[in-house]
Structure 1
Amino acid sequence: MPHFPINHPARPIYRVLSGLIGLYILAFGVWGTVSTWGDPLFSRDGSWALGLRTNLAFSLASVIFGAVLIVGASRRGNLGHYMNLTAGVVFLVTSILMMSFLQTRANFLNFSMSTVIVSMLFGLILLGTGLYGKVGEPEHAEAERERRYHPVAEIHRRR
């Protein structure tokens, strides 16, 4: 069973960070949608928005994904934890897949290398915010602290 820290003290900072990423993705999507409106859905022309190459399909997906991330960051429960973990994995997998399709016709989202790098960076940050965003009862957090600072754990840490 994986171990996720419960009630991490920096959780509010991680929520703000994931909210800022969601806000950027939403702004990118809106800007891209406005600039590519009227183009074919999967166009491969040179449309750019906020420093990243895009097309109408990628912009519309970004609007939805950005809004979802903002909603997840605004919730205090474990919804944000699970949404950030999922979003991190989605961003990482998408960036790796689209990097392998960059110079082919399969680049249907019109990615460039800068888009791949930003997607990978966002994926890693969202994965990190998801790992430390778990919320639990104060008793669970206290039990975790006791287990972490148990004398047996101290002996193993010194080795």
Structure 2
Amino acid sequence: MASHTLRPSGTRRRTRLDEHLPVDHRLSRIYRVGAGLMGLFLLAFGILGLVGTGGQGTVLGMGSNTALAILSICVGALLFVGMVAGGNFASTLNMVFGILFLASGFINLGLLDTDYNVLNFEIQNVLFSFVVGLLLMVFGMYGRVGSTLPHDNPYWRARHPDAVEQERPVQPGRRDRPDQVR
């Protein structure tokens, strides 16, 4: 049994996703790009849905109505806020909206051709929800998960504090570990 899995009962270490990435980290750029691109497309879709079709019809090959257009504008604006904020906020926002888009795709797939299809979804909208959901999740999780994260990655360091302690540079003349000799 590995020693890093033995913990006193009642103590559970959790990785908090909102405090491990420095504000100026290079991963923030990826989170911002993802939020910005998806937000821009959703804003364009929502505005065209309101202005171009008068609230009912087809926009960019997908079904739309006033409710879907307003929802798209709101989500697009939130993604733009995430782009401006950057960092962990943008990453977490991308992941949350990615999951919501995937769920929306599955729910609306079941509601196609029923009276409960209040957002006027068509199969193109469902496929769009799946694609946008997956893209947002990829942008949000980039650099956070994976089996080959570099050891200087803040998320790897948060998940492996024992290994970080062992990799810490040793000052000359100081004996921190028993395997070090003078």
Q: What is the Cα-based RMSD across aligned positions, in Å? A: 3.2
Shift of 1:142: 8.6
Letter in 2 for 1:141: P
Deviations 1:94-114 (A, max 9, x none): 111001111111111001111
Tell me which of 70, 73, 82 is aligned to 2:92: 82
* Residue aligning to 2:70: 60
Deviations 1:118-138 (A, max 9, x none): 11111111112222376xxxx
Report whether the alignment pairs 1:141 with 2:154.
yes
Shift of 1:140: 7.8
Shift of 1:15: 2.1
2: CA distance, partners of 1:142 / 1:3: 9
Q: Name which one, 1 or 2, has greater alpha-carbon Rg.
A: 2
- Normalization by structure 1: what TM-score? 0.73
Shift of 1:76: 2.6
* Residue aligning to 1:154: none
- Normalization by structure 2: what TM-score? 0.65
Gaps of 5+ in 2: 1-13, 145-151, 164-182
* Residue aligning to 1:22: 39
- 1:100-111 to 2 correspondences below 5 Å: 100-111=110-121
Structure with more of its chain in helix, by fraction:
1
Report whether the alignment pairs 1:31 with 2:41.
no
* Residue aligning to 1:91: 101
Q: 1:18–1:84: 8 Å Cα contact kept in structure 2?
A: yes
Greater relative contact order (Cα < 8 A, sep 6+): 1
